[in-house]
């Protein structure tokens, strides 16, 4: 649920990185954090276990500057992907303006990807949101791994992308596709926001 403050001309949008455990959600945020200049970002907050699994969420505030006369800010969150953190995932997803689904391209992770996508749908539905309505992009991460370990984008598309959501191949560890993905979701979110403003 974006916050639009007409008095201060500020817009704040919430983007949630969703996906199965170890698909690379936190790695996306780390890469973004490392690239964005100091004056455009706030402190990144990560609540993780000792083995680096996200325990609650990661949070990264970004300042996109002026868009249509509004100071525009994005708050990036990641959910914990491990199956038993369901309650936390629901909490973090609440009020999302857009979702980046980070899939793991490894062939052996296919079932986990499918289950996580179903979990996303169920959790959105529980919040009264149709997955076809909310801005959603899909990232096929870990495309840098050897080709005998991963599925190609067409196979992943068949398995996961039923609604023709924009998709991006990525290697978040080295940053390939990370900003393309962020730009993709930003465009969808801002387009929806401006359509909503037009309707008022």
Site residues (vs ligand GTP, CB under 6 A): 19, 21-27, 52-54, 78, 80-82, 141-142, 144-145, 171-173
Does an H or E element contain 21, and which? none
> Which partner in Mg ion, ligand GTP, none is near 105 (CB below 5 to 8 A by kind)?
none
Q: Estimate the crossing angle of helix 86-93 against helix 110-126, to 10 degrees.
A: 60
> Which partner in ligand GTP, Mg ion, none is near 181 (CB below 5 to 8 A by kind)?
none
In whole angstroms, the minimum distance from the beta carbon of 117 to ligand GTP comes to: 14
> Which partner in Mg ion, ligand GTP, none is near 21 (CB below 5 to 8 A by kind)?
ligand GTP
Give residues with Cβ within 8 angstroms of 91, minimum separation 6: none
Cα gap 113→134, rounded to integer Å: 19
Select 27 or 72, whichever has its Cβ closest to ligand GTP: 27
Give the number of other CB atoms < 10 A from CB of residue 183. Answer: 13
Under rule CB under 5 A, which residues in 13-52 are in contact with Mg ion? 25-26
Task: Determine, following the binding rule CB under 5 A, whether residue 54 of this chain makes contact with Mg ion.
Answer: yes
Select 26 or 161, whichever has its Cβ closest to ligand GTP: 26
In whole angstroms, the minimum distance from the beta carbon of 142 to ligand GTP comes to: 4
What residue has token string 């979701």?
Answer: 185
Give the largest CA-CA distance in the chain.
Answer: 55
Residue 127 has φ and ψ, to the nearest 5°, of -95, 10
Does an H or E element contain 119, and which? helix 110-126
**29, 78 contact by CB (below 8 A):** yes
> Which partner in Mg ion, ligand GTP, none is near 141 (CB below 5 to 8 A by kind)?
ligand GTP
> Which partner in Mg ion, ligand GTP, none is near 155 (CB below 5 to 8 A by kind)?
none
Residues making contact with Mg ion (CB under 5 A): 25-26, 54
């Amino acid at each position: 649920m974006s916050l639009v403050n007409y008095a201060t001309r500020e817009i704040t949008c919430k983007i949630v990185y969703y996906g199965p455990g170890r698909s690379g959600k936190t790695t996306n945020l780390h890469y973004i954090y490392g690239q964005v200049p100091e004056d455009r970002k706030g402190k990144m907050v990560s609540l993780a276990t000792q083995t680096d699994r996200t325990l609650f969420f990661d949070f990264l505030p970004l300042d996109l500057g002026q868009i249509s006369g509004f100071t525009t800010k994005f708050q990036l969150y990641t959910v914990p992907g491990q199956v038993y953190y369901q309650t936390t995932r629901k909490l973090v997803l609440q009020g999302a303006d857009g979702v980046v689904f980070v899939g793991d391209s490894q062939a052996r992770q296919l079932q986990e990807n499918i289950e996580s996508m179903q979990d996303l749908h169920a959790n959105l539905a529980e919040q009264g949101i149709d997955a076809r309505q909310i801005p959603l992009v899909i990232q096929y991460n870990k495309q840098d791994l050897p080709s005998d370990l991963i599925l190609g984008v067409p196979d992943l598309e068949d398995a996961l992308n039923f609604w023709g959501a924009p998709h991006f191949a990525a290697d978040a560890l080295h940053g390939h596709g990370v900003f393309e993905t962020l730009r993709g979701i930003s465009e969808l979110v801002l387009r929806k926001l401006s359509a909503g403003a037009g309707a008022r």
